Amino acid sequence: SNTEVLFGVEESLKELTQLADTAGLMVVGSTYQKLVSPNSRTYIGSGKVAEIKSAINALGVETVIFDDELSAGQLRNLEKAFGGEVRVCDRTALILDIFNQRAATHEAALQVALAQMEYQLPRLTKMWTHLERQAGGKVKGMGEKQIEVDKRILRTQIGVLKKELESVRKHRKQYRNQRLSVPVPVVSLVGYTNAGKSTLLNQLTGANVLAEDRLFATLDPTTRRVQTKNGKEFLLTDTVGFIQKLPTTVVAAFRATLEEISESSLLVHVVDISHPLAEQQIDAVDKVLSELDVSSIPRLMVWNKVDKVSNPESIKLEAEKRDDVVCISALSGEGVNEFCNAVQEKLKDSMVWVEALIP
């Protein structure tokens, strides 16, 4: 039962499969069920639970991942229903897992740890009610106390992490201020995960930024200096990829990274125009952007991967009709010079705008 109607259930599950693959899991199957409302105890109905359980036994499944966020109770009941050995998790936990694997800087690692703890906090009951059961009810109430102790420990850790993050950020801000004192405009790449942001950055700068066909290759903002043919310069920053159904708590953990976006002179929205859900991915990115304070920053849209579409000519015609769209192939380099020109045109606009504000 998807509350987000942007992506259909099947597309969303396909993306979940890709996420699982990115996390290093091997997906053996997927299924879904249409219910008027999710089962409060197990999210899915009892028939579906039984069906999955027999698949677990037949295929030796170790992990079952749900595409929507599960409550602590649902997690516990499902784990019990599937048999103790199976790990049950949801999309959010999976994304946090991937983030955890990919955090390359100290700041990213701190952000992910914080998001994971905040995710765990309301879900802490599991382990201890389990213990209580094992003790045969003799220590009734002990589990409850233990949960409280655990929650207190977690909250303390969260507090420590937040302080550490703050100090790391202060450093980065100083560095950024130094950078801003150099009059080179900053251009931020935003876009759905896998749209081709890192590839574009590489194509423009020869920087060896990790670009691979996996979701969330980029977690840390990477900034490179781009020199155009006519000797002009701008700084290009790659940001974390956006994805649908990213819970606000997770978005909040990355807010500081995303906030760099709000200090740029231009936003370049990179779109994988060859993707069947390009339209929906654009909407998902716009939704996250609308939560940040960036409405006044000029934008340019890039339709990437034109080498991959079946109808490149009509796509290019369509782009020409629009004012703010450039067609490129970040992989082959096609259209990249036009892209640089468009960036400069846009920056010129924004510079005029800045001058008009400062008499």
Of the pair 68, 307, the CB lying nearest ligand GDP is at 307
Of the pair 213, 323, the CB lying nearest ligand GDP is at 213
Of the pair 188, 199, the CB lying nearest ligand GDP is at 199
**CA within 13 Å, CB half, 123:** 18
Of the pair 143, 241, the CB lying nearest ligand GDP is at 241
- Give the nearest distance from C-beta 180 to ligand GDP in angstroms: 24
- Give the nearest distance from C-beta 259 to ligand GDP in angstroms: 19
Contact 190, 290 (CB under 8 A): no
Of the pair 111, 222, the CB lying nearest ligand GDP is at 222
What tokens were used for 280?
A: 């929906």
- 200: closest CA among 278, 277, 272? 272
- Give the nearest distance from C-beta 6 to ligand GDP in angstroms: 19
- Give the nearest distance from C-beta 203 to ligand GDP in angstroms: 8
Burial of 151 from C-beta contacts in 10 A (0-12 / 13-18 / 19+): middle
SS (H, E, C) 83-146: CCCCEEEEHHHHHHHHHHHHCCCHHHHHHHHHHHHHHHHHHCHHHHHHHHHHCCCCCCCHHHHH
Rounded-to-integer distance, Cα 14 and Cα 12, Å: 5
What tokens were used for 359?
A: 């008499």
- Give the nearest distance from C-beta 345 to ligand GDP in angstroms: 22
**CA within 13 Å, CB half, 171:** 7
Of the pair 66, 216, the CB lying nearest ligand GDP is at 216
Of the pair 61, 112, the CB lying nearest ligand GDP is at 112
- Give the nearest distance from C-beta 327 to ligand GDP in angstroms: 10
- Give the nearest distance from C-beta 339 to ligand GDP in angstroms: 11
Of the pair 107, 220, the CB lying nearest ligand GDP is at 220
Contact 294, 261 (CB under 8 A): yes
- Give the nearest distance from C-beta 195 to ligand GDP in angstroms: 4
Q: Which residues contact 171 (CB under 8 A, 6 or more apart)?
A: none
Of the pair 44, 201, the CB lying nearest ligand GDP is at 201
Q: Which residues bind ligand GDP (CB under 6 A)?
A: 191, 193-199, 211-213, 217-218, 241, 304-305, 307-308, 329-331
Contact 281, 271 (CB under 8 A): yes
- Give the nearest distance from C-beta 269 to ligand GDP in angstroms: 11
